[in-house]
């Protein structure tokens, strides 16, 4: 099997409502779909989601594809994924979401060629995983109502954005806890918004008042490694690294220096499934659990995260909710939500159908 055609198709997906975190607010999400056609009539789909976090835009993804990636793929055997990943990493610096989208498309072809869903090809540890659903930054009353709505849909885990104002964050989280009850898990994500002192004060106050926080994600700025390490050492709840865990080298550094209790692996940041496998192996050897997260991803990209999360024992957490945020996605299949879990498709490959 050889790749005979490679196409990049950019789209803009409109969010149901503006989404705010500690460092930005967005109303739409750029996604670039990759279509790889083979001489056996199999088609592989992948999707890049460029973002300020990855220092990419739709334009940079398309430039990387047209000037480098397309030329590296035509005529190649798509199932030789590790070889192609090494060639791409060598020839194209940066551009992690572009690499991720291509890597996903190669795995989609691998699964279709084997007539097997990707989560089973990768190891098939489980067939579903509980996911959090995110409550974006808004006035406290709006966030509380959003949390109640999420729980009413059957989800049992909330990821509450914070990091702007510690006092407001405390008030909001306590309000959410009172509204949803004690049986719902609450995770906090500060997106680098706190100092060491503010992070500790927020958690100490919430714990004292019975908020029962499951974990705190990326409380301090990514570049201040030892601030994150100190929060981890002093905090009474587990600390997860996200923005600090960008590349494979970052993941290894976090583990060797014992910077955080757990790591959020996002396929868009690290460059796809192949690199995520490596990062997860690092973490599992060090007995550090992993979360698989997402960005503003169409199901065309998020499906890969779902398949990955279900494949490996060390992935104990999932934050795979981005496909819920769009007014209209262009993808069917890939995964479904039920009773608070996200479930990968049993169709071959990623199991997605793309309507472009």
Tell me the catalytic residues.
161, 266
Query: How would you classify the pairing of strands 213-217 and 239-241?
Result: parallel
Contact (Cβ atoms closer than 8 angstroms) between residue 160 and residue 176: yes
Q: Report which of 60, 114, 46, 93 is spatially closest to residue 267, judged by C-alpha positions.
A: 46
Q: 215: closest CA among 194, 197, 236?
A: 236
CA distances to 184, 284, 288 from 262, rounded to whole Å, are 21, 10, 5
Q: Is 258 helix (H, G, I), strand (E, B) or coil?
A: coil
Helices and strands (H and E) in the chain: how many: 13, 16
Rounded Cα distance, 76 and 3, in Å: 6
Give CA separation, 251 vs 46, 94, 132, 241, in Å.
24, 16, 22, 9
Residue 69 near residue 81, CB atoms below 8 Å = no
Bridge-based pairing of strands 3-21 and 24-38 is antiparallel
In angstroms, rounded to a whole number, what is the distance separating the alpha carbons of residues 159 and 157? 7
Give the burial string for 174-198 (b: 16+ CB within 10 Å, else e).
bebbeebeeebbbbbbbbbbbebeb
Q: For residues 101 and 106, what is the distance between their CA atoms, to the nearest angstrom?
A: 9
Q: Is 129 helix (H, G, I), strand (E, B) or coil?
A: strand
Round the CA-based radius of gyration of the chain to a whole number and report it.
20
Q: Is the dihedral of CA 48, 54, 56, 58 positive or negative?
A: positive
Q: Which two tokens stand for residue 213?
A: 């926080």
Q: Residue 297 — left, alpha, or beta (φ > 0 → left; ψ -120 to 50 → alpha)?
A: beta
């Amino acid at each position: 099997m050889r790749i005979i055609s490679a196409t990049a198709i950019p789209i803009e997906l409109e969010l149901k409502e503006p989404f705010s975190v500690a460092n930005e607010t967005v109303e739409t999400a750029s996604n670039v779909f990759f279509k790889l056609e083979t001489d056996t009539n199999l088609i592989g789909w992948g999707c890049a989601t460029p973002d300020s976090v990855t220092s990419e835009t739709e334009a940079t993804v398309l430039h990387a594809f047209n000037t480098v990636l397309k030329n590296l793929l035509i005529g190649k055997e798509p199932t030789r994924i590790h070889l192609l990943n090494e060639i791409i990493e060598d020839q194209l610096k940066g551009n992690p979401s572009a690499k991720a989208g291509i890597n996903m498309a190669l795995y989609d072809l691998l699964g279709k060629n084997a007539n097997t869903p990707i989560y089973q090809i990768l190891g098939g540890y489980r067939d579903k995983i509980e996911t959090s659903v995110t409550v974006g930054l808004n006035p406290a009353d709006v966030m509380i109502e959003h949390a109640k709505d999420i729980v009413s849909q059957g989800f049992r885990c909330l990821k509450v954005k914070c990091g702007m104002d510690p006092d407001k964050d405390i008030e909001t989280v306590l309000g959410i806890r009172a509204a949803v009850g004690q049986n719902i898990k609450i995770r906090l994500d500060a997106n680098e918004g706190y100092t060491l002192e503010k992070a500790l004060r927020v958690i100490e106050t919430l714990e004292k008042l019975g908020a029962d926080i499951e974990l705190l994600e990326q409380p301090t700025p990514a570049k201040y490694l030892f601030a994150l390490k100190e929060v981890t050492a002093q905090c009474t709840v587990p600390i997860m690294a996200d923005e600090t865990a960008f590349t494979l080298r970052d993941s290894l550094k976090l583990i060797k220096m014992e910077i955080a209790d757990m790591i959020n692996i996002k396929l868009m940041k690290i460059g796809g499934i192949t690199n995520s496998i490596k990062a997860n192996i690092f973490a599992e050897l060090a007995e550090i659990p992993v979360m698989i997260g997402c960005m503003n991803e169409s199901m065309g990209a998020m499906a890969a995260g779902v398949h990955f999360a279900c494949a490996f024992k060390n992935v104990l957490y999932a934050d795979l909710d981005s496909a819920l945020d769009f007014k209209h996605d262009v993808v069917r299949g890939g995964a479904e939500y039920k009773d608070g879990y996200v479930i990968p498709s049993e169709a071959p490959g990623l199991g997605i159908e793309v309507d472009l």
